[in-house]
Structure 1
């Protein structure tokens, strides 16, 4: 009886590493299973990375890099444990995202938001906007998120009305209103 032919080790290892990279990239980009499989199908015609050739996997990785994923070298063992608790995805840094983050934290200080973390803001944005990552939101979606946060602030008693104020007066007035409301709530306890 003849033994089954073996794959060349270096080719199989290379493909296995490419599949692993695709899986890691999908996780770090926060792609859910349906989005991930739709992307695979669009790029390769396959619904699973295991069915893809190395060339197809390379095209998938190129697409993921275009979406913001950056391949990294494996960290040294001592660095791995320290970095494992860090949030792997990049924070959105657009002006709207920065404003959303500031409002999210302010709402936490008011006691309206239980979890002030970036992950909680991302989850809120995902529910409000239907986009997997805040950094992928287009400006109109970011504006909608700000409006949702303003509505939460208004319900909490933090007036967001800046009608009649000069642009350079708006932020100090909003901060003063927030501080006053927090102080009132502290005094009422």
Structure 2
């Protein structure tokens, strides 16, 4: 087991430009300290500077980072494309091993919408629409119990409130034990 009954694990997955990072950032802002935001792109592209491929070292590093944070009382927001054939086994093991409440969300947007959103990002200068097309997966679900699809009709506020509501059990709407400021 990893974490404990009070830790929360949020898995935000989906295509590039679907709103995962924005959602993770807003969750952290609203909940406050005590949230470890683990970005697939940061660990893979920045820290290790590696290509996304099956069996690559970033997969184990992401898993170990999430487990370490959970085991030390942090809530974890795990965010990335996390293509199922490459990351699915690791994610399913992590989800199964987590002792606390877990929420798994797949951001499903049409390709045209991901391109429109991508065009507003700094990465658009480096990655073009054709590369995005190669990466795009129409519905890459993990198939875990409780996995939810977030579609383009869900606003940022709707999505963040949904995640907070799904992972909250106190009447006041707060997460159980965030680290104090």
TM normalised by structure 1 equals 0.25
Structure with greater proportional strand content:
2
**Structure with greater Cα Rg:** 1
| Structure with bigger RCO (C-alpha 8 Å, 6+ apart) | 2
Report the TM-score, using the length of structure 2 for normalisation: 0.26
Q: Which structure shows the bigger proportion of residues in helix conformation?
A: 1
